[in-house]
Amino acid sequence: LGGSRKKNALPKVNQSIMKEDPKVVTQMDIEDIGEKIAFCRCWRSKKFPLCDGTHNKHNAEANDNVGPLLLRRAEG
Ligand code: FES
């Protein structure tokens, strides 16, 4: 990659999402979230930052146990 980047000491978490940006930051208004939403925490979703279930494939291949952050609107 670019010459100014530090040499990697650890494997990358983010393999493919917004790699041209120095940092991946997502902002979402609470009002735009419906009754429930699932945010990806495995960094492999094709719908990032939303979960598309790709974590299941990763978990099977890597013997890992990652999963989404589920937000649900409280009743009442
Ligand atoms: Fe990444 Fe589900 S696809 S947590």
Nearest to 59 by CA among 39, 44, 37, 38: 44
**Distance from residue 41's CA to the centre of ligand 1 (Å):** 6
pLDDT for res 5: 61
More confident: 1 or 36: 36
More confident: 32 or 47: 47
Catalytically active residues, by annotation: 23
For the chain, domains (ranges, CATH) are 34-72 (3.40.5.90)
Residue to mutate (ligand 1; options 26, 50, 51, 70; most atoms within 8 A of CB): 51
Question: Per mean pLDDT, which range of 7-11, 27-31, 46-50 is the poorest?
Answer: 7-11
ipTM for this prediction: 0.99
48 Cβ inside 6 Å of ligand 1: no
Cis status of the peptide bond prior to 49, with omega within 30 of 0: yes
